[in-house]
Amino acid sequence: MDVKDLKYFVAVYEARGFSRACLQLGTVQSNVSTRIRALESSLGVILFERRYRDVIPTESGAKLYARAKQLIAELDEARKTLQLVHG
Amino acid sequence: MDVKDLKYFVAVYEARGFSRACLQLGTVQSNVSTRIRALESSLGVILFERRYRDVIPTESGAKLYARAKQLIAELDEARKTLQLVHG
DNA sequence: TTTTTTTACGACACACGTAACAATG
DNA sequence: CATTGTTACGTGTGTCGTAAAAAAA
């Protein structure tokens, strides 16, 4: 589970679709699909239920979302803190 | 700034040396050196002062350490939570 | 047929381990 | 000379974008 994986996941979650997520991520659908599938595989958990014109988070997906948002925010905050110090 | 980078950083911080850190990380000195340097470069900040037989964290290094430990712990916790759900 | 996700694939970049080098005491 | 960190480099793995396929309505 990588930070980039979390960002991909959050984008799909918020966009409720792979095609809309990829615009925000600056990549193509196929990569989003592949990476989400790899993430699901590595966790042993399905994160989204794929339906036509709707990508619905599973229970696991919903649980991951809150944590993922927090983790990404904390990482950004850490980066900002460091770049003020310049040590 | 990747999760693996943070783990490398924490290992060096706690071992106070690249040679001792690499044992714990299951890799070789050169990789630890390269990745820490890349991390420092991407952050625009020096994290360790290298001295003979002593690797001393800078102010930035010390600030990153607390955050890094917390982030790694939170990521592990998220992983555990998900693997109990099996959704 | 249109929209959306998945799979296949070639190209390029990255991370790894080996080995040689630099520096310190 | 022993120890520790750095640099150079060949190899393999992974990620990317293109393109073709599959599925749904």
Q: Where are the beta strands (DSSP E) in chain A?
A: 48-51, 54-57
State which nucleotides on strand C lie below 7 Å from a protein beta carbon. Answer: 3-8, 15-20, 23-25
Report the predicted TM-score, pTM, of the whole model to 2 decimal places. 0.95
Categorize the per-residue pLDDT at B86 as very low, low, confident or very high, splitting at 50, 70 and 90. low
B6-41, pLDDT tens digit by residue? 999 999 999 999 999 999 999 999 999 999 999 999
Contact A54, A13 (CB under 8 A): no
- Can you give the pLDDT at residue A85? 73
Given a contact cutoff of 8 angstroms between Cβ atoms, the answer to whether A71 and B71 are in contact is: yes
Positive or negative, the CA dihedral B37, A67, A38, A32 is negative
Q: Who among A61, A67, A85 is closest to B63 (CB)?
A: A85
Question: What is the phi-psi region of residue A58: left when phi exceeds 0, alpha when psi lies from -120 to 50, beta otherwise?
Answer: beta
Task: Please state, in angstroms and rounded to a whole number, the distance separating the CA atoms of residues B12 and B34.
Answer: 12
- Do the chains contact at B67 and A78, CB–CB below 8 Å? yes
Confidence grade of residue A61 (pLDDT, cut at 50, 70, 90): very high
Interface test with A, best of B43, B82, B83 (most A CBs within 10 A): B82
Q: How far apart are alpha carbons B16 and B34 in whole angstroms?
A: 16
Collect all residues with Cβ–Cβ distance below 8 Å to A33 and sequence separation of at least 6: A18
- Residue that wins the pLDDT comparison between B68 and B83: B68
DSSP A41: H
pLDDT value for B62: 97
Phi, psi of B58 (to 5 degrees): -80, 180
What's the CA B33/C1' D8 distance, rounded, in angstroms? 14
pLDDT tens, residue by residue, A5-51:
999 999 999 999 999 999 999 999 999 999 999 999 999 999 999 99
CB A6 within 8 A of CB B71: no
Query: Is the pLDDT at A80 greater than 80, yes or no?
Result: yes
**E-assigned strands of chain B?**
48-51, 54-57
User: How large is the average pLDDT for residues A76-82?
Assistant: 95
